[in-house]
């Protein structure tokens, strides 16, 4: 049996890290949250983001849902929600959601603490007690079936579809076979490949939801009177040899593997443990897309890149996989798995096995290159008012 | 590797594909010799320099015809493309997400 050692939470879920998260409710609290996390040491990470203190109601709900989801991620052993005190997003409401999963949580208002200096001092005290509580988690052996694995791609080129994505897809298949959950997303990158995915949905309702998500993303382009080709494939993708959105999509979906699609969930919605292959409706912007899956409970992310990427995440370790031999060489200290060997004749299955072994060893505590370098990007996908008005409220 | 490697120069990903992906920087004039080309041909001459990761036609494609990779349509040819020519944004366009072609848009 494939096992790893992790942190057992009171609700039964297993974390692969034991972090304390500092969650600002708006951009106004982000710098203070960052400072509190820096002072708190390596086990404390902040999620600074750019959401404003005022947001339209559905956008505010999304911000709260993402932050609460991050706090509930099993890798989080304690959370501190920090607000300026004037935001629409409510730190107490976020804390209530997080504590519902038995995760220790505190809130802090910069206004009530007497400004930034007082907030940093109070934050330090809160962190001390949260670190103590997090340290009480039982460290024990867990089964691969308890893993929720999110897969992402960024900086794609032609090798992504030939080598890195099929290898990660093979690892997804292995995890699903072992009883775990794999999740892939980035709906704009289903355009032109949705017919392939639709055939793999387990039933008609899942199929309809998948096609609706793709239609909605494509109609945003139509509504705005723009040619999606202006942004997809990106200029970088094009330099790497990708010509059309269809070509990019057909390569991108390979990272989800070949298992049946069991469900389609909204951005940042909870991902089921032991749930097979699940699609999440996220934007193509990789940092926001990763955050959506981590808010949904993914403990580990695999991130494929052709042209190179350094990105990480504050809560989930991010495993970098490249299929491009130049990137494997030039950015060796940012890459965890070299899948470019596929171009030399190594089988996709063999590289997939290496990705899967890396997933288990990272779950077991091995640090990824992004973790070693302190890479921890965070961004929340904001609903745009025009998008809301034109398309209805997808929340 | 997924697909068929053509003379260590390019990979043809599925049966019926009209383009292959270069797995090395290919020089103009290079002869790719292989039994795995569509039709009866066993030699494909690279018509122009093609960078690693970029595509070349393995068969003639007429303007307006679909271009196939991964066994699926990835777009349409905007002009006639001869075997061995580079296939990219200058001669292949997407059929999807075309807000620019939507009724009423500028």
* A299-335 residue pLDDT tens: 999 999 999 999 999 999 999 999 999 999 999 999 9
User: Among residues A279, A274, A269, A300, which one has the least CA distance to residue A146?
Assistant: A274
Task: With cut-offs at 50, 70 and 90, classify the pLDDT of residue A270.
Answer: very high
User: Among residues A164, A170, A152, which one has the least CA distance to residue A316?
Assistant: A152
* Contacts across the A-B interface (CB distance below 8 Å): 119
| Residues A172, A165: Cα–Cα separation, whole Å | 10
Distance of residue A177 Cα from the nearest chain B Cα, in angstroms = 21
Looking at residue B100, its pLDDT comes to 60
- The count of other CB atoms within 10 Å of the CB of residue A123 is 26
Contacts of B52 in chain A (CB under 8 A): 158, 241, 326
| Residues A162, A324: Cα–Cα separation, whole Å | 10
Contacts of A332 (CB under 8 A, 6+ apart): none
Q: What single DSSP character describes residue A307?
A: S
A165 or B105, greater pLDDT:
A165
Task: With cut-offs at 50, 70 and 90, classify the pLDDT of residue A224.
Answer: low
Looking at residue A395, its pLDDT comes to 47
Query: How far does chain A reach from its first CA to its final CA, in angstroms?
Result: 39
Looking at residue A218, its pLDDT comes to 81
Contacts of B92 in chain A (CB under 8 A): 243-244
**Partner B contacted by A31 (CB < 8 A):** no
Average pLDDT score over chain B: 90
Is the pLDDT at B50 greater than 90? The verdict is: yes
CB spacing of B53 vs A157 below 8 angstroms: yes
Looking at residue A233, its pLDDT comes to 86
Q: What is the mean pLDDT of residues B59-86?
A: 96
Looking at residue A223, its pLDDT comes to 60
pLDDT tens digits, A325-366: 999 999 999 999 999 999 999 999 999 999 999 999 999 999
Distance of residue A48 Cα from the nearest chain B Cα, in angstroms = 33
| Residues B101, B95: Cα–Cα separation, whole Å | 10
Output the CA torsion sign for B62, B64, B65, B67: positive
Is the pLDDT at A384 greater than 90? The verdict is: no
Nearest CA in chain A to B72: A250
Q: What is the mean pLDDT of residues A148-165?
A: 96
Task: With cut-offs at 50, 70 and 90, classify the pLDDT of residue B106.
Answer: very low
Chain B residues within 8 A (CB-CB) of chain A? 1-3, 5, 11, 13, 21-23, 51-55, 69-70, 72-75, 87-89, 92-102, 104-106
- The count of other CB atoms within 10 Å of the CB of residue A207 is 18
CB spacing of B87 vs A161 below 8 angstroms: no
Output the CA torsion sign for B16, B21, B24, B26: positive
Contacts of A116 (CB under 8 A, 6+ apart): A31, A32, A35, A110
CB spacing of B53 vs A158 below 8 angstroms: yes
Give the β-pairing of A76-83 and A19-24.
parallel
Contacts of A352 in chain B (CB under 8 A): none
The predicted complex's ipTM stands at: 0.93
**Partner B contacted by A74 (CB < 8 A):** no
Strand runs labelled E in A284-351: 300-305, 318-322, 337-338
Looking at residue A226, its pLDDT comes to 56
Task: With cut-offs at 50, 70 and 90, classify the pLDDT of residue B101.
Answer: low
> Could you tell me the two tokens for A237?
């993708």
Average pLDDT score over chain A: 93
Is the pLDDT at A179 greater than 60? The verdict is: yes
pLDDT tens digits, A42-90: 999 999 999 999 988 889 999 999 999 999 999 999 999 999 999 989 9
Distance of residue A249 Cα from the nearest chain B Cα, in angstroms = 9
Range with the lowest mean pLDDT among A99-108, A215-224, A287-296?
A: A215-224
Looking at residue A390, its pLDDT comes to 58
Nearest CA in chain B to A347: B1
Distance of residue B63 Cα from the nearest chain A Cα, in angstroms = 16
Q: Is A126 left (phi over 0), alpha (psi -120 to 50) or beta?
A: alpha
Is the pLDDT at A222 greater than 90? The verdict is: no
Looking at residue A332, its pLDDT comes to 97
Range with the lowest mean pLDDT among A92-101, A111-120, A210-219, B93-102?
A: B93-102
CB spacing of A324 vs B53 below 8 angstroms: yes
A contact test, residue of B89, B93, B96 with most A CBs within 10 A: B96
Looking at residue B103, its pLDDT comes to 47
Provide the percentage of residues in chain A whose pLDDT is more than 90: 84
Q: What is the mean pLDDT of residues A238-242?
A: 94
Q: What is the mean pLDDT of residues A155-176?
A: 97
Question: Between helices A30-40 and A116-134, what is the axis angle to 10°?
Answer: 50
Nearest CA in chain A to B92: A243
CB spacing of B72 vs A240 below 8 angstroms: no
pTM: 0.94
């Amino acid at each position: 049996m494939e096992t790893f050692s992790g942190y057992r939470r009171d609700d039964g879920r297993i974390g692969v890290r034991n972090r304390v998260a500092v969650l600002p409710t708006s951009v106004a609290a982000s710098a203070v949250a960052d400072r509190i996390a820096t002072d708190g040491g390596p086990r404390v990470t902040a999620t600074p983001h750019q959401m404003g203190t005022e947001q339209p109601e559905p956008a505010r709900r999304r911000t709260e849902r993402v932050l609460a989801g991050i706090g509930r991620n099993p890798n989080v052993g304690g959370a501190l929600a920090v607000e300026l005190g004037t935001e629409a997003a409510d730190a107490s409401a976020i804390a209530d959601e997080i504590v519902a999963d038995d995760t220790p949580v505190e809130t802090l208002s910069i206004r009530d603490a007497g400004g930034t200096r007082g907030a940093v001092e109070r934050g330090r005290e809160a962190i001390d007690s949260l670190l103590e509580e997090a340290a009480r988690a039982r460290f024990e052996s867990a089964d691969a079936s308890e893993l929720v694995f999110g897969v992402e791609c960024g900086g794609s080129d032609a090798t992504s579809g030939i080598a890195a994505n099929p290898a990660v897809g093979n690892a997804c298949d292995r995890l699903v076979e072992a009883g775990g959950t794999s999740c892939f997303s980035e709906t704009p990158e289903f355009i032109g490949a949705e017919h392939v995915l639709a055939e793999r949905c387990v039933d008609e309702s899942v199929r309809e939801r998948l096609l609706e998500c793709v239609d909605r993303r494509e109609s945003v382009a139509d509504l705005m009177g723009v040619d999606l080709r202006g942004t997809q494939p990106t200029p970088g993708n094009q330099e790497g040899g990708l010509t059309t959105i269809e070509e990019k999509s057909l390569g991108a979906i390979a990272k989800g593997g070949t298992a049946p699609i069991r469900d389609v969930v909204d951005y940042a919605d909870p991902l089921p443990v032991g749930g097979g292959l699940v699609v999440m409706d996220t934007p193509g912007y990789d940092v926001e897309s990763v955050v959506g899956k981590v808010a949904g409970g993914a403990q580990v992310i695999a991130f494929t890149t052709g042209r190179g990427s350094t990105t990480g995440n504050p809560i989930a370790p991010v495993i970098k996989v490249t299929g491009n031999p130049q990137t494997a060489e030039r950015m060796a200290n940012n890459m965890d798995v070299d899948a470019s060997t596929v171009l030399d004749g190594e089988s996709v299955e063999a590289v997939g096995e290496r990705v899967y072994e890396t997933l288990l060893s990272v779950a077991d505590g091995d640090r990824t290159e992004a973790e070693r370098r302190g890479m921890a990007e965070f961004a929340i996908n904001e609903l745009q008012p025009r998008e809301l008005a034109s398309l209805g409220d997808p929340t | 590797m997924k697909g068929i490697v053509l003379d260590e120069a390019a990979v043809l990903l599925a049966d019926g594909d009209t383009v292959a992906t270069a797995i090395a920087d290919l020089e103009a004039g290079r002869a790719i010799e292989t039994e795995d080309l569509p039709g009866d041909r066993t030699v494909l001459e690279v018509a122009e320099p093609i960078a690693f990761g970029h595509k070349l036609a393995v068969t003639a494609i007429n303007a307006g015809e679909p271009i196939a990779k991964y066994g699926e349509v990835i777009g349409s040819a905007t002009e006639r493309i001869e075997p061995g020519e580079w296939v990219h944004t200058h001669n292949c366009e997407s059929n999807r997400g075309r807000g620019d072609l939507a009724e009423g848009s500028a």
